[in-house]
Amino acid sequence: MPQKAALLLGGSGLTGGHCLEYLLNDAHYNQVVALVRRPLPVEHPKLIQQQIDFHQLDDCLAGMQINDVFCCLGTTIKKAGSQKAFHEVDFVYPTEIAKLSIATGAEQFLLISALGANSGSAVFYNRVKGEVEEAIARYGFKGFYIFRPSLLLGKRRESRPAEKFGKKLFQWFSFVFKGVLQKYKPIESRTVAYAMVEVAKEQPLGKQIIESRQIQSIYDQR
Ligand SMILES: NC(=O)c1ccc[n+]([C@@H]2O[C@H](COP(=O)([O-])OP(=O)(O)OC[C@H]3O[C@@H](n4cnc5c(N)ncnc54)[C@H](OP(=O)(O)O)[C@@H]3O)[C@@H](O)[C@H]2O)c1
């Protein structure tokens, strides 16, 4: 069994929390380093929590050897307060970490992007997601996996009315999400986290885009 070190970003979040759980319980990894703003309420012999200032990432990986990076960072424009602040979390931090981690020898980067990511999009959110995908691809990781889930399901501490509405819409019209529309079907955050960890254990395959349907089918094959 390989003994690898994982770096996790966003471990306090919905998908990142599930990712942390899968990583800690997977013998493929003997070390999980979580970069956090505030300590996570989790203790585990494999877990190293690094409390950092995300505005000053330069030395945050000094002396570390990382194999696989799991990036579950993200915010909303409403929560961040401005497009600039959103860009910082969803573009600047992931690309900075990609640059720093490849210098530590990291081979794989697993990024949660989003359905509709497109650097040419007129929609700011989709454009930033597309741009971060392209920027990280330039670092040439042996495996760069871009997960593009649809609406994420799961229990959040905070209230997100737009997400709640999307979930209701799905419940009322679930029969619609078939055929070509299946990629819009909301997906459990746990499912996304599972797929990230499973894909990371395979041989690196360069840049791969994994859409919601494919994420679901990786989970269904477990
Ligand atoms: N929500 C959806 O339906 C949806 C759909 C498709 C794709 N996505 C994407 O999927 C990814 C994961 O989404 P999620 O809903 O699981 O995330 P989430 O629950 O909102 O968690 C976000 C994570 O990012 C961290 N973060 C946010 N702002 C930060 C900042 N300024 N500095 C440092 N860390 C910060 C949070 O840390 P703190 O706990 O310290 O705040 C948290 O760990 C995101 O990239 C999102 O855009 C979401």
In angstroms, what is the C-alpha Rg of the chain? 17
Q: What's the pLDDT at 216?
A: 95
Atom of ligand 1 at shortest distance to CA of 160? Answer: 1
Q: What's the pLDDT at 72?
A: 98
pLDDT grade, residue 190 (50/70/90)? very high
Residue among 38, 75, 113 to mutate when testing ligand 1 (max atoms within 8 A of CB): 75
Helix or strand holding residue 31 (H, E): strand 29-36
Residue among 9, 14, 115, 132 to mutate when testing ligand 1 (max atoms within 8 A of CB): 14
Instruction: Extract the tokens encoding 4.
Output: 């690898």
- Whether 125 is a known active-site residue: answer yes
Instruction: Write down the catalytic residue from 125, 139, 184, 219.
Output: 125
pLDDT grade, residue 153 (50/70/90)? very high
pLDDT grade, residue 135 (50/70/90)? very high
> pLDDT by residue (tens digit) across 23-65?
999 999 999 999 999 999 999 999 999 999 999 999 999 999 9
Q: Are 152 and 187 in contact (CB under 8 A)?
A: yes
Q: What's the pLDDT at 14?
A: 97
Question: How many Cβ atoms sit within 10 Å of the Cβ of residue 87?
Answer: 19
Instruction: Extract the tokens encoding 106.
Output: 């990291």
